Homo-oligomer: A and B are copies of this chain.
Amino acid sequence: MGHSQAEKSQTHDELVRIAARRFRELGFDGLSIADLMNQAGLTQGGFYKHFASREDLLLEALTAALKDGEAPRKKKQGKSPAKLSFDAVVDGYLSESHRDDPGTGCAVGALMNDVGRAGAAARKLYTGQVERNFRLLDQLLGAADSSAGRAEAILAYSAMTGAVGLARAVSDRNLSNEILITVRNYLKDEFQAKSQAK
């Protein structure tokens, strides 16, 4: 059992990566330390060589999850730096694949309820990402009137997070798809169209 310095930080990153995915899938209460370590191919005792406590992991994993769910679904299969347009973001966010795979998706949506019940530190990290995402959408909408742009960004983000949350919770596949499609069409028609008309 070798353990160079490089291997340690590699293991650390791997643990954060797994936790960031599993917390989004299972919620903050759904992943135990033993499960996490086993999924990394390790035993549970080693956990405390990497984190001071479960809460410590929680915050690191939340940071990572918020970051890689940023500008959600930027990249589709092949194209690495797919061009970032409002329409592309809406299509990605409200896609069936994003609905079906919360583990790699937007942490703001996947952990909305969890963070609302969490401690101050987690909520602060989350708040920063929400504000960043509002700004990103505002910028993509590129409205002439910037206060109207921000309002539309807030509405669009609220609608997208709500729609994906509902689409994930609902057990009727048709209703779930209807939610995604309806909100997708509305946002693209109403906002992007308006924005382009200027």
Could you say which of B26, B114, B154 contacts A182, with CB atoms under 8 Å apart? B154
Stretch at the interface among A53-61, A76-84, A122-130: A122-130
Docked complex: A84-123 residues within 8 A CB-CB of B: 102, 108-117, 120, 123
Shortest beta-carbon distance from A145 to chain B in Å: 14
A163's contact among B108, B120, B150, B162, by CB below 8 Å, is which?
A: B162
Contacts of A126 in B (CB 8 A): 169-171
| Interchain CB contact under 8 A, B168 and A116 | yes
Contact of A161 among B25, B127, B162 (CB under 8 A): B162
Report how far A71 CA is from B94 CA in the complex, Å: 26
Q: How far, in whole Å, are A102 and B112 apart by their CA atoms in the complex?
A: 13
When all copies of this chain in the complex are counted, the total is 2
The chain B residue sitting closest to A108, CB to CB, is B166
B171 touches A124 (CB 8 A): yes
Q: Is the interface of A mostly helix, strand, loop or mixed?
A: helix
Q: Is the CB of A158 within 8 A of B183?
A: yes
Residues of B within 8 A of A131 (CB): 172, 175
Is B116 within 8 A of A172, CB to CB? no
Known: A183-B154, A186-B155. A166 touches B161 (CB 8 A): yes
Q: Please judge, given known A-B contacts A113-B112, A175-B127, whether A165 and B166 are in contact too, CB under 8 Å.
A: no
In this assembly, does A179 line the interface, its C-beta being within 8 Å of a C-beta of chain B? yes
A160 at the interface (CB under 8 A from B): yes
Residue of B nearest to A162 (CB): B162
Question: A178, B154: Cβ atoms under 8 Å?
Answer: yes
Q: With an 8 A cutoff between CB atoms, is A7 at the interface?
A: no
Of B124, B152, B163, B165, which contacts A113 at CB under 8 A?
Answer: B165
